[in-house]
Structure 1
Amino acid sequence: MKRIYILLGLVLFTAACTSDLDQTPPNIANSASITDFKGVLNAAYFYQLSSVTPMAVMGDFRADNAKMVESPYTEFDVFTGNNLTQMNEQFFRPFYAALYKSILSANNVILNSTNATQVGEAKFLRALSYFKLVRVFGDVPVNLKALPLISDYPSFVRQPAADVYNNVIIPDLIAAKTVLSATRSTTGRVTKYAAQGLLGKVYMQMGNFILAEPELAAVVNAAGSPGSIDVTKFALKTTYASVFGSTNDLNSEILFATQISSSIKDEYAAVSASNFWTWYLGVDTKSISPVDPSLVTAYNANPGDLRKTWNIQVSGANTISPKYTKADGANQDWIELRLADIILLYAEALNENTNASGTNSASILSKLDYIRSRAGLASLSGTATTQAAVRTAILKERRLELAFEGQRWFDLVRTNTVSAEMGTSIASKYYVFPIPISEITASGNIITQNEAYK
């Protein structure tokens, strides 16, 4: 049962609007009349749901993990004269709209609730929303008001990504981690370590390894031993398979997930539950054979990797991913942040901060030993002896561990390895996606389009 969405219940309905920046969250009559903001906070959680399918597609299909086979969706693999704007209404518009609705709900809680925990959760969700927006679109409009007015439109000009990080995302996560519980939640609520882990991930995305390391270390050091049955702590699962599937939702490895239920429709699918899983399974004709051959090659370079069976399956003439099963998919949560991701990022930060000479290579790679051993593989310790080699080894491990979790494209961008890994020269203007045309029009062209899509 998806607790947060059940609490939200039937109070949500579609709000009429002229722009996604000036909507009141639909379960809010007037913030001045509200004394209990639980429903408003639940709305901020709920709106993350519609970002899931677009994030999955952008994170894996834009990269070398997955591919489209039907025009015009094959444009996801085109980096000259790219025309992704044809997919505006299918991918970018629902993503953009949902996240700004989550932000509006979070703003209402932050500005009006007197409950410190509620405010902490709202700040995390606002930070998560802006983090997704910045990674996808680059510069974005910033709204910190509970109810922006038409007269506020001039201020909705896109803000530099660096300013969004420094003025919104980072302060929100720092504030959140100071007030949220350090005890693992079994109901999907944000905790201190979810906020701290996301903060570390944000710093890594910015290339600030010095600030990332202590945040990531705090999460890693607070975790229980692998397989721990202490329900108050996060811990790695003993098998890769036990991380996934609806029966494993909110397991000990999950720092934060967007909860999904087949009974709750999202704005992306419109009439059904979230369908991110269909893209990986090849259910949609746009990508009946979604797995990119280069990912198969990457797994084959690691004979015995148990993750390959879980992530890749030959089905007739097609290669699909069974990571999210058809029977289970509509009820399986989307993992936003898990402990294995944080451990890999921590090793990466250590390598950048302490391994210029290469002397710490073995100890850094040993941080990945349990992740490797549960995949049926030997330690990487001793296989790479220079900082550059360790950097490459960790990026490869991230690809194998986090395949089809919407991470790959954003890893390539932040590590500046897009062209090298994709095997072709790709201009940086293609690192971001097109701003929804409807938002540009609704703003009276105050919001502008990214260079590659003008």
Structure 2
Amino acid sequence: MNYYKYISLILLPIAILSSLNACRKFLEAKPDAKMVVPSTMKDLRALLDDVATMNLSWPIAGEVAADNYYLQTNNWKSISSLTDRENYIWKEDVSNDMDWTLTYRVVLKANLILEKIAEIHPSPDQVKEWNEIKGSAMFYRSFAFFMIAQEFAMPYDPQSATSESGIPIRLTADVNEPSYRSSLKDTYNTIIKDLEYASQLLPINVAYKTRPSRVAALALLSRVHLTIGDYSKAANYADTCINAGIQLLDYNQLSSATDGAFKRFNNEVIFHIAANYSYSLDASICKVDSLLISAYTTGDLRKQLFYKINTDGSLAFSGNYDGSNSYQLYVGLAADEVYLTLAECQARTSRNTDALRTLNEFMKNRYDKLSFTPITSTANLIDIILSERRKELPFRAIRWMDIRRLNTLAGGNITLERRIDNEIYTLPPGDLRYAMQIPTSVLATAQSMERNKR
């Protein structure tokens, strides 16, 4: 199959978004491989630093499908995007062309960079830059594969991962290479292998948080291993990441009275990416789930920092690490997630004393310092950690991932529910809709592409 032709075909549905200023230049651009033939490390660095493509066009459908919010019927009906409306009620065969296309465009560019960097023989003083370029491309490709797998493949189960379909693992920019879906096991093996390699090539710190670093690779490795239930490795990577010097914000030092408590590239951010725009998640109609709000107890500073009160008394999310006035949600890697991953994995591997230490280190930065009392009991420790994770990471494209993985564990039992026009829609554990359908445009042009089961 002609891959560039395939990319062009599946870009067509995105034309409807051309009115969005932030996306206009990207959507009007020709495919990268036809625009430029990179030949130097400066060229390759420029491709990596194309923030619009590499950092600002990441999947959002999982967040639309998650349970952080609800829509009133009149607001749901007013949404012009059919995809958003259908994702909200978990329709069986929603065609999420944008998430698929723009994320595979990151893969395409990463593959092009990897092929071109292999042709360059660096001088001794160029080796550091050469390594960083190669490591960055491998990181981006792995992150893209992981995010695509969270939407278009079923949750990871070690018992069925070898036979379960994963996603197409494109490892070259060869236009004649057909696309086939790898097994779920091979999908994650590729993600992990490339990230491990990238972590050895990348510098510990980078000049800009839109560039991958070794710390970012460690953070992502901890997330990936948590997702597949390898808690020992997830803990090791999270611990190494923390020891590398990542920082937690002290929410006691922030004020909800200021114009945006959270600034873009704040000290907690490890690697910055933002998601595609979703009408469903627009703050003007997206109302935060009341059960989530009720979980914030007295002294929890997040309730006042993450949310603002609507005129009808409901709450809207304003804790966006992309900046409170941004219409794109931050979905990158940050220190708070790493701490919570470490605490959960320590608890799941019977390292309860360590888990308490990690959890309390995190919580003292989230609760009023005058009223915070460290947790000393290990009773229901995992439940407490998961509650903190739930309250800490809404609207980060993480909740969908968490629902999927937790429902594969004993006691997960998370059923999602929506109500529209007095009709109730549900998404129970194990439902095949936890893997969104391969986009219609892809199935129409790629005869080798396997549909998701329904």
**TM-score of the superposition, structure 1-length normalised?**
0.75
User: In structure 2, how many angstroms separate the alpha carbons of the residues matched to 1:410 and 1:106?
Assistant: 24
Decide which of 105, 109, 124 is 2:113's aligned counterpart: 109
Q: Is residue 2:306 matched to residue 1:311? A: yes
Residue equivalent to 1:405: 396
Alignment of 1:155-304 (within 5 A): 156-166=179-189, 168-223=190-245, 234-239=246-251, 241=254, 245=260, 248-258=263-273, 275=277, 279-283=280-284, 288-299=285-296, 302-304=297-299
Q: Is the 8 A contact 2:48 2:137 kept in 1?
A: yes
Residue of structure 2 equivalent to 1:147? 174
Q: In the alignment, which of 94, 97, 104 is matched to residue 93 of structure 1?
A: 97
Equivalent in 96, 118, 133 of residue 133 of structure 2: 118
Q: Aligned to 2:339, which of 321, 334, 343?
A: 343
Contact 1:310–1:321 (Cα < 8 Å) also in 2: no
Distance 1:38 1:344 in 2: 33
1:321 to 298, 302, 317: 317
Partner residue, 1:272? none
Q: Does 1:451 align with 2:453?
A: yes
Question: Could you give the per-residue CA deviations for residues 377-411 of structure 1, whole angstroms, max 9, x where no partner exists?
Answer: 634522442xxx21111111011111222211211
- Whether contact under 8 Å (2:6, 2:442) holds in the other structure is no
Alpha-carbon distance change, 141 to 371 in structure 1, aligned in 2, over 3 angstroms: same
Q: Does the C-alpha gap of structure 1 residues 222 and 99 become closer, same or farther in structure 2, counting only changes over 3 Å? A: same
**Number of aligned positions between the proteins:** 385
SS of match in other structure, 1:451:
coil
> Residues of 1 paired with 2:321 and 2:197: CA distance?
38
CA contact (8 A) 1:75 1:83 kept: yes
Partner of 1:366: 360
Distance 2:106 2:205 in 1: 25
- C-alpha distance 351-184 of structure 1, shift in aligned 2 (>3 A): farther
Instruction: Tell me the SS of whatever aligns to 1:165.
Output: helix
Over 6 Å off, 4+ runs: 32-35
Which has the larger share of helix?
A: 1
- Deviation of 1:316 after TM superposition, in Å, equals 2.0
Structure 2: which amino acid aligns with 1:100?
Y
Residue 413 of structure 1 contacts residue 431 of structure 1 at CA under 8 Å; is this kept in 2?
A: yes
Alignment-mate amino acid for residue 172 of structure 2:
K
Bigger Cα displacement from structure 2, 365-374 vs 321-330: 321-330
Q: State the match for 1:378 in structure 2.
A: 372
Identical positions, percent:
22
Superposed CA offset, 1:282-335 (max 9, x none):
33xxxx242122212222xx1232111222333122432233599953377724
**Residue-by-residue CA offset, 1:237-296 (whole Å, 9 max, x unaligned):** 222758995972222211101269xxxxxxx5xxxxxx45x654533xxxx242122212
Shift in Å, 1:360: 5.9
User: Which amino acid in the other structure matches residue 186 of structure 2?
Assistant: D
- Alpha-carbon distance in 2 for matches of 1:137, 1:430: 9
Q: Does residue 420 in structure 1 map to residue 432 in structure 2?
A: no
Alignment-mate amino acid for residue 443 of structure 1: A
Residue number in structure 1 paired with 2:445: 442
Q: Which runs of 5+ in 1 are unaligned?
A: 1-13, 224-233, 261-267, 269-274
Which residue of structure 1 lines up, in the alignment, with residue 69 of structure 2? 66
Partners of 2:191 and 2:255 lie apart in 1 by 32
Once residues 251 and 44 of structure 1 are traced to their aligned partners in structure 2, the CA distance between those partners, rounded to angstroms, is 18
Q: Which amino acid aligns with 1:140?
A: I
Q: What is the TM-score when the length of structure 2 is the normalising length?
A: 0.75
Distance in structure 2 (CA, Å) of the matches to 1:363 and 1:74: 43
Shift of 1:136: 1.1
Q: Secondary structure at the match of 2:250?
A: coil
How many angstroms apart in 1 are the aligned matches of 2:7 and 2:430? Answer: 39
1:30 corresponds to 2:37: yes
Q: How has the CA–CA distance of structure 1 residues 108 and 376 changed in structure 2, closer, same or farther, with 3 Å as cutoff?
A: farther
Contact 2:152 2:438 in 1 (8 A): yes
* 1:337–1:376 distance in 2 versus 1, CA, 3 Å: farther
Any unmatched runs of 5+ in structure 2?
A: 12-29, 121-129, 154-165, 418-425
1:126 Cα offset (Å): 0.5
- Aligned equivalents of 1:250 and 1:19: distance in 2? 32
Q: Is the 8 A contact 2:307 2:316 kept in 1?
A: yes
Secondary structure of the residue that 1:140 maps to in structure 2? strand
CA distance in 2, matches of 1:203, 1:326: 26
Once the two structures are superposed, what CA deviation does each residue of 1:413-441 show, in whole Å capped at 9, x if it has no partner? 12226633648743331222221111111
Describe the shift of the 1:421–1:443 C-alpha distance in structure 2 as closer, same or farther (beyond 3 A).
closer
Letter of the structure 2 residue corresponding to residue 346 of structure 1: L
RMSD of aligned residue pairs (Cα, Å): 3.4
Quote the Cα distance in structure 1 between the aligned partners of 2:370 and 2:398: 22
CA apart distance, 1:143: 1.0
Q: Deviations over 1:350-394 (max 9, x none)?
A: 111234xx6666445334343343687634522442xxx211111
1:50, 1:359 → 2: CA distance? Answer: 40
- Compared with structure 1, are the counterparts of its residues 323 and 208 closer, same or farther at alpha carbon in structure 2 (3 Å cutoff)? same
Q: Which is further off, 186-195 or 93-102?
A: 186-195
> 1:11-49 deviations in whole A, cap 9, x for unaligned?
xxx9972457xx952565335688731222234872442
